[in-house]
C-alpha cells in the first residue's frame, strides 16, 4: 500500500512538472513573440524616424516657401509611398502673398478666409479619417479611390494658414484610433519652417522695396551691379535699360508740396507698369529717378515702349499741373554682355541729353553691335 501511494505521488509530481514545463514553454514562446513584435515595431519606428528626419532636413534646407512646399510634396510621396499629397493654403493668411507658380493645381489648392476653421480642423494638429466616396469635401474626383486621409494643420489653432493632406488607398493606413505623435511633430516642424521662411522673405523684400512707389530700390541692384548682364538674365539675351527723370520735379515740390510730388512719382510708376511685363524690374534710384530693365527686348520694341510712356505722362496732370519726363535709353546686345553698372550709366547719360534738349523726350545712347 505504501509503495502504491509512493507511485501515485511520483506520478503526480511528474505530471505537475510536465504541466509546469509546458506552461513555461508556452510562456517563453509568448515572450519570444512579444519581444519579436516589439523589436519589429522598434525597427519600423526607427525606419519611420529616419525617414521623418530626412524629410525634415530636406524641408529645412529649402531656400524659400515655394521650394519648401515643392520639396515637401516630392519627398512625402517617395519616402512614405502615399497615393496623394496635397497642400491647402489660406490666401488671406501670412502665406497668401507668396508665389507658388511651381506647384500644380493638383498639388496646391488656395482656400478662402475661414475655410480651415469652418472644417473644424483647427482643434488639433492632426486628424485621421477613414473615407467613403465624397466624405471629405476638399477632395477632388481624382481622389475617389482614397480609403484614408491624414490632415496636418499648419499654423496655430488661432491662426491656421494651411493644411497638408496625406492620402492612401488603404483604408487602414490612417485609422482614427492610431497614434499621431510622429505626424503632429512633423506638422509643427513644417509650420515653424514655413513661417520662418515667409518672415525672412518678407524682410528681404522690404529691404529692397521702395515704400512710396512699391518699386525696387537701388539696393536691389547691388548684387548685380558689377556683374555681366548674363549672370542675371542668362546668356545670349539682349537687355534694354531706360533711365527716367521727372521734368521740373523740384519746382513741382516747391509749388505744391511733397504730397503732390509723391503723387507724381506714383503716376509715373503706374504708367510704366502698363507697358512692361510683371517680371521687368523697375528701380527707384533716388528722388525722381527710375531705371527700367527690359531683358529680351529689341531696340525697336524698347523705343516704342519708351515713347508710349513719355506720351502718356505728358497727358497727365497732377494737382492741376502737367507732367513730363525725360528718358534715356541704352542697349546691351547678347554679344556685348555689358556690366549692369555700365548699361545704367549709358542710359543715365542719354537721359541728361534729353534733359538738355528741354525734356519731355526720349534719347538713345549709342547702340553697339
C-alpha 292/C-alpha 242 separation (Å) is 5
**31: pLDDT strictly greater than 70:** no
For 36-91, the pLDDT digits (tens) are 554 554 454 555 556 666 666 666 676 688 888 888 888 888 888 889 999 999 98
Asked if the model's pLDDT at residue 258 lies above 70, the reply is yes
When pLDDT is averaged across residues 327-340 and rounded to a whole number, the result is 93
Instruction: Quote the percentage of the chain above a pLDDT of 90.
Output: 44
Buried b (16+ CB within 10 A) or exposed e, 277-311: eeebbbbbbeebbbbbbbbebeeeebbebbeebbe
Which position has the grid cell 509715373? 268
Q: If you average pLDDT over residues 104-122, what whole number do you get? A: 88
Using CA atoms, how far apart are residues 95 and 115, in angstroms rounded to an integer? 15
Residue 9 has pLDDT above 70, yes or no: no
Confidence of residue 369 (pLDDT cuts 50, 70, 90): very low
- CA–CA separation, 320 and 318 (whole Å): 5
pLDDT at 117 over 60: yes
The whole model's pTM is what? 0.61
Over 60: is that where the pLDDT of 6 sits?
no
pLDDT tens-digit profile of 241-250? Answer: 999 999 999 9
- Confidence band (pLDDT; 50, 70, 90) for 132? confident
Average confidence score pLDDT of the chain: 84
CA distance 360 to 268: 13
3-state secondary structure the chain: CHHHHHHHHHHHHHHHHHHHHHHHHHHHHHHHHHHHHHHHHHHHHHHHHHHHHHHHHHHHHCCCHHHHHHHHHHHHHHHHCCCEEEEEEECCCCCCCCCCCCCCCCCEEEECCCHHHHCCHHHCCEEEEECCCCCCCCCCHHHCCCCEEEEEEEECCCCEEEEEEEEECCCCCCCCCCCCHHHHHHHHHHHHHHHHHHHHHHHHHHHCECCCCCCEEHHHHCCCCCCECHHHHCCCCCEEEEEEEECCHHHHHHHHCHHHHHHHHHHHHHHHHHHCCCCCCEEEEECCEEEEEEECCCHHHHHHHHHHHHHHHHCCEECCEECCEEEEEEEECCCCCCEHHHHHHHHHHHHHHHHHCCCCCEEECCCCC
Q: Is 30 exposed, middle or buried (0-12, 13-18, 19+ CB in 10 A)?
A: exposed
The whole-number average pLDDT for the span 338-358 is 95
Q: Does pLDDT of 343 surpass 70?
A: yes
Short-list 343, 369, 339, 357, CA closest to 243: 343
User: What's the CA gap between 97 and 113, in Å, rounded?
Assistant: 14
Amino acid at each position: 500500500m505504501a509503495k502504491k501511494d509512493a507511485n501515485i505521488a511520483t506520478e503526480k509530481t511528474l505530471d505537475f512538472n510536465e504541466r509546469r514545463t509546458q506552461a513555461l514553454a508556452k510562456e517563453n514562446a509568448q515572450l519570444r513573440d512579444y519581444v519579436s513584435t516589439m523589436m519589429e515595431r522598434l525597427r519600423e519606428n526607427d525606419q519611420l524616424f529616419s525617414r521623418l528626419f530626412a524629410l525634415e532636413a530636406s524641408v529645412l534646407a529649402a531656400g524659400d516657401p515655394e521650394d519648401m512646399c515643392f520639396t515637401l510634396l516630392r519627398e512625402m510621396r517617395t519616402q512614405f509611398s502615399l497615393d496623394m499629397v496635397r497642400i491647402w493654403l489660406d490666401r488671406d493668411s501670412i502665406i497668401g502673398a507668396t508665389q507658388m507658380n511651381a506647384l500644380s493645381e493638383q498639388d496646391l489648392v488656395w482656400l478662402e478666409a475661414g475655410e480651415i476653421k469652418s472644417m473644424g480642423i483647427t482643434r488639433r494638429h492632426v486628424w485621421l479619417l477613414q473615407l467613403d466616396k465624397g466624405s471629405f469635401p476638399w477632395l477632388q474626383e481624382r481622389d475617389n479611390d482614397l480609403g484614408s486621409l491624414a490632415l496636418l494643420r499648419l499654423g496655430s489653432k488661432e491662426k491656421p494658414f494651411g493644411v497638408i493632406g496625406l492620402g492612401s488607398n488603404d483604408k487602414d493606413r490612417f485609422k482614427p484610433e492610431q497614434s499621431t505623435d510622429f505626424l503632429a511633430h512633423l506638422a509643427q516642424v513644417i509650420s515653424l519652417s514655413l513661417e520662418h521662411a515667409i518672415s525672412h522673405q518678407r524682410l528681404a523684400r522690404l529691404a529692397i522695396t521702395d515704400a512710396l512707389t512699391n518699386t525696387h530700390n537701388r539696393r536691389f541692384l547691388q548684387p548685380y551691379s558689377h556683374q555681366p548682364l548674363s549672370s542675371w538674365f542668362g546668356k545670349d539675351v539682349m537687355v534694354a535699360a531706360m533711365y527716367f527723370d521727372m521734368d521740373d520735379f523740384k519746382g513741382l515740390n516747391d509749388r505744391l508740396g511733397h504730397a503732390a510730388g509723391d503723387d507724381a512719382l506714383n503716376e509715373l510708376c503706374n504708367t510704366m507698369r502698363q507697358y512692361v511685363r510683371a517680371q521687368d524690374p523697375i528701380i527707384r534710384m533716388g528722388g525722381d529717378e527710375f531705371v527700367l530693365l527690359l531683358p529680351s527686348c529689341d531696340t525697336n520694341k524698347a523705343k516704342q515702349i519708351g515713347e508710349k510712356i513719355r506720351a502718356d505722362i505728358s497727358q497727365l496732370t497732377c494737382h492741376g499741373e502737367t507732367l513730363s519726363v525725360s528718358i534715356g535709353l541704352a542697349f546691351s546686345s547678347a554679344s556685348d554682355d555689358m556690366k549692369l553698372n555700365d548699361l545704367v550709366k549709358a542710359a543715365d547719360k542719354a537721359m541728361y541729353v534729353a534733359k538738355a534738349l528741354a525734356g519731355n523726350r526720349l534719347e538713345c545712347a549709342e547702340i553697339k553691335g
